[in-house]
Amino acid sequence: MIKKTFVFILCAISISLSQNFRVERIEPPNWWFGMKTDTIQILLYGTNVASAEIYPSHRGATVIDFHKAESPNYLFIDLLVDNTINENLNFEIGLANDDYDTVITFPILQREKREKAFQGFNQSDVVYLIMADRFCDGNTDNNTIGDSLDEFTENDLDGRKGGDIEGIISKLDYLKELGVTSIWITPMLENNMWMSYHGYAATDLYKIDPRFGSNELYKKLVNEAHNKDLKIIMDHVSNHIGINHWWIKDLPFKDWINGAPENHLPANHNKMTFPDPYSPGESVALTWDGWFTDYMPDLNQANTFLKKYLIQNTLWWIEYLGIDGIREDTYPYVNQYYLSDWAKIILDEYPSFNIVGEVWTGEPAFLAAYQRNNKFGLKLNSNLPSVTDFALADAFRDYLSGKKGLEGVFNILAMDYIYSEPENLLTFIDNHDIARGLYLTKENVKKFKTALTVLLTTRGIPKILYGTEIGIVGDNRHGTIRSPFPGGFKFSEHNAFTKCGRTDYENDIFNFTQKLISLRRNFKSLSNGKLIHYYPFNNVYVYFRYLNKETTMIIVNGSEKEQTIEFSSYREMLDDSKKLIDLITDDKIELSKINSIKINPLSSYIYLIEK
């Protein structure tokens, strides 16, 4: 009898405990008054949180609805923010069941008054791409966080080197000296993974990885950059997360991710399947649903709760940090209906903002399909302002490697009629995923300089990879493409952040790059002018940029022979011109006295035309 009573008591305790709940996470952590997006969805997570009834307060917001998930540990609450409130407050929500009650607070804040924020970026800018871990270590104390997941050490090619936010802050003056105007930084969200220095496998979408710093430090970086008239572009990922994300052990819905860790599709790299008019639906699904690797679960943006979560998360970071743009990773692999809504909501909230989608293909027709207001009416309006111009990059790379001449660059630009906004393409020679330009050209600095000249004087928004300006070469491996910047780390043998610390080789390329950027900034025709170009016979590319009364002439000799330029061949652009002023040497050419000039092998010239 005693034994039976004891069992009964244990069962009663077990039933009682199962009804208790605990709130462990609230996401987003806050919102703001005065946002166009004033209806938000709060995710509550914790043991048995769905068992609670809610009792909201009545000032600052209104609870419209709430939703239980398939997991008992989630509760989604729809909240309408009262934009008539003009002071910070903590909106309270009571949660209770028969056995337990608690009150959570959700801060709703006034938006910060910022002179410089949400500025966007355009072809007046020069973008500088930083891989956060490989640029500069400003705080060696945060290089490890005491876990066992960093299996790669500093000495390993793919190990963490220690670059962080404090390191980037410490080099803002260097970037200002170089002349760049916008900084694109690879992702810095928490990546609590076995190999995660790159930042593309997030394990918490609201937290900066402590090895990079903190949310507050990222905000400080943005503010200090803005004080120096430098813009910040945040690298964002909607496509996937890291396998160690806290969701994975307890998904709110089974379809929160595509497949499961033990059973999922591999990535299908047919990035063009969506705009393809003949593509079957199952091909589209394969592209959107496949996992890049087994440690990067693919998110299912078709789930309406996840879609809301990701859009809010993006808006939260934009508003919290005050950033100026986003680079969206793996763009074609994401549900395009979600991305169209995502981009529209962001741009409605921040009209001056810019977003560039990574579309890794060298075909202009496919790239154009992903840019907003596509001229051919493909399926939906992406609302995406900018795409990565891999077509022009491939042309640069074919030229540098010797596969083609400068006619490849000419041909790609000649296809700009297919784009809705060719001037808003992000142009580049290399990036953090592909071999550097100097490696492709077998360290032929003269040839590399000609490509760099075209990049910084033709249409589009030019981007250079960190270390380009000092001639980092690397090879085909990610670890060397992403080489640590000399002088940014305790193991550096010299300091390339300073003129006296750089080698003669590094100073030569730095000075050349700095000069080109300066010319682009000071002569608006080089950044915002209309483009007129001539076919590069004998691998000599001549083109003009003109804006209002300012016209510049660029001559690039991509051949290894001296070439002759006959001015009569460019009569339409030079007909009423009197003089050419070399913007690099200040030499002057009197067109009434000289009919032609000799152009050195692998060289470039930038002239201001005086009428």
Spatial CB neighbours of 412, under 8 Å, sequence gap ≥ 6: 364, 391, 392, 394, 395
Q: Contact 577/552 with Cβ under 8 angstroms?
A: no
Give the three-class secondary structure for 399. helix
**Two structure tokens written together for 269:** 């790299």
CB atoms near residue 148 (< 10 Å) = 6
Spatial CB neighbours of 469, under 8 Å, sequence gap ≥ 6: 178, 509, 510, 513, 514
389 is catalytic: no
| Residue of 209, 324, 358, 407 marked active site | 358
| φ, ψ for residue 180, nearest 5 deg | -65, 160
- Exposure of 363 in the CB half-sphere (CA atoms within 13 A): 9
As a whole number of angstroms, the distance between CA 388 and CA 559 comes to 28
As a whole number of angstroms, the distance between CA 313 and CA 316 comes to 5
The string of DSSP letters for 362-387 reads S-HHHHHHHSSS-TT--SS-----EE
3-state secondary structure 114-131: CCCCCCCCCCCCCEEEEC
The beta-strand segments (E) located in 131-203 are 182-185, 189-190
User: In 257-329, where does DSSP find H-type helix?
Assistant: 281-289, 304-321
Q: Contact 45/95 with Cβ under 8 angstroms?
A: no
Q: Contact 544/533 with Cβ under 8 angstroms?
A: yes
The Cα-based distances of 185 to 164, 182, 472 in angstroms read: 11, 10, 18
| Residue of 204, 329, 407, 430 marked active site | 329
**Two structure tokens written together for 217:** 């430090």
As a whole number of angstroms, the distance between CA 138 and CA 131 comes to 14
Q: Contact 19/97 with Cβ under 8 angstroms?
A: yes
329 is catalytic: yes
As annotated, the active-site residues are 329, 358
